[in-house]
Amino acid sequence: MKDFWIEPEAKKVNKKKIIITIIIGIIIIALAVFIGIYINNKEAREWIDKNIFRKEIVQDKATTIELKEGQNNNIYAFNKYIGILNKNKFIIYSNTGNQENELEIQISNPLFNSANRFLIIGETNGQKIYVLEDKQIAWEAQVEGNISQVHINRNGYVAVVIVDTSYKTVIAVYDPQGKEMFKKFLSSTRTADVDISNDNKYLAIAEIDTSGTMIQSNIRIASMNEPTAQDETYQGENNKLITNIKYQDKNKLVCMYTDCIHVIEDKQDNLIMNNEDKKITFQSVELTNHFISIEEKSSGLFTVNSVVKIVNTENKNEKEYTIESSIKEINTYGNIIALNLGTEVEFINTGGWLVKRYIANQEITQIVVSDNIATIIYRDKIEIINL
């Protein structure tokens, strides 16, 4: 018979489990403290970026591609590659500086545009266009008239702006296989910019009419599926100069004027940022679901801060990134914003965080950037920065 008066054995404590739980707890607390310091303490963040995350790169420490001095090199970054066009040879390099391919491109004064894995190269004031997919020529064509702009969307659809014909402007549209889909003829206006929506359904044209006493900017949206249908037209305010347009997700068309930014969505044209009475030095809509506006603000008797305002066009959230100096030049692509400060470049993302900082011992005059890589261009070399 079982003896109910025998005391039960004491439950053994799993010391290993307790130690592991304590260690995990300490790691979580330490990580939370680290993140808090990184976000809220600028000096600590600068030190962490430089010494822990290794975000700072100095000249001559990056991957380098040597250039022959005196040659007319045309350099462009696209996808994960760098292309150098010289004497009708387009040499493609990887982000490690290794040559990947060499293509025959009969163009001497190029216009570049890229999206996703596609690149279009057109001859400025010429007739030739080439479309590359990844590292190969997908197709080429010749137009009637002179090319003034080229555009390609992320699925390989192409728009070419042509001038010097019987019309003021002609826009030719091609499918990803190089077949001409249709043309748009503008009899009295010139084109500031064109863009094709991410779903290939719409062609947007920013047109400017200077024939009257005041400048008139209009946005024309054509159906890619029914190009003969009546275009939608959105008329800008009198004397407002349109400079750039960009389709973003959900067919939002972001329209940049010299002093404001509009968004056309669901057939509504809405002002989203007014830059009147502000010292705006740069704007860009060439980003993924964002646009930026850079304002200079006095920080002392002879000093200024440059405040980079990054606006999300999906939810209208704003981020700010402050530079304690003036900005000489910007370059934007995808989620990357390159800020040229003269002898230093700060690459930030649309979340408002530093991605990389490049420090040179001479004035930086030219930068090209894509989602994955950036190149700093000098007379005798280029330096590659992986982002």
The string of pLDDT tens digits covering residues 130-156 is 999 999 999 999 999 999 999 999 999
* Confidence category of residue 20, pLDDT binned at 50, 70, 90: confident
* Confidence category of residue 374, pLDDT binned at 50, 70, 90: very high
Do residues 332 and 292 make contact, with C-beta atoms less than 8 angstroms apart?
Answer: yes
Residue 7 pLDDT: 59
Mean per-residue pLDDT of the chain: 91
Residue 197 pLDDT: 97
Q: What is the pTM of this model?
A: 0.90
Sheet with 56-58, strands from edge to edge, namely: 56-58, 354-359, 344-349, 336-340, 329-333
Residue 6 pLDDT: 57
- CA dihedral (234, 237, 240, 241) in degrees, to 10, reads 20
Which of 270, 268, 294, 269 shows the shortest CA–CA distance to 283?
Answer: 294
Amino acid at 354: L
Residue 376 pLDDT: 95
Here the contacts of 286-290 (C-beta below 8 Å, separation 24 or greater) are 286/244, 286/246, 286/332, 286/333, 287/246, 287/332, 287/333, 287/334, 287/335, 287/337, 287/350, 288/248, 288/249, 288/334, 288/335, 288/350, 289/248, 289/249, 289/252, 289/313, 289/314, 289/350, 290/335, 290/350
* Overall average pLDDT of the 71-77 stretch: 91
* Overall average pLDDT of the 274-282 stretch: 90
* Confidence category of residue 116, pLDDT binned at 50, 70, 90: very high
Which of 302, 307, 349, 309 shows the shortest CA–CA distance to 324?
Answer: 307
C-alpha distances (whole Å) from 346 to each of 211, 238, 372, 382 are 42, 37, 15, 17
Residue 2 pLDDT: 52
Residue 5 pLDDT: 55
* Overall average pLDDT of the 343-353 stretch: 95
What confidence tens digit (pLDDT) does each residue in 5-19 have?
555 565 566 777 888
Which of 154, 85, 162, 147 shows the shortest CA–CA distance to 119?
Answer: 154
pLDDT at 297 over 60: yes
Residue 13 pLDDT: 62
pLDDT at 193 over 90: yes
Do residues 385 and 375 make contact, with C-beta atoms less than 8 angstroms apart?
Answer: yes
Residue 201 pLDDT: 96
Q: Which of 40-49, 62-71, 123-132, 202-211 comes out lowest in average pLDDT?
A: 40-49
Specify which residues 321 forms β-bridges with.
308
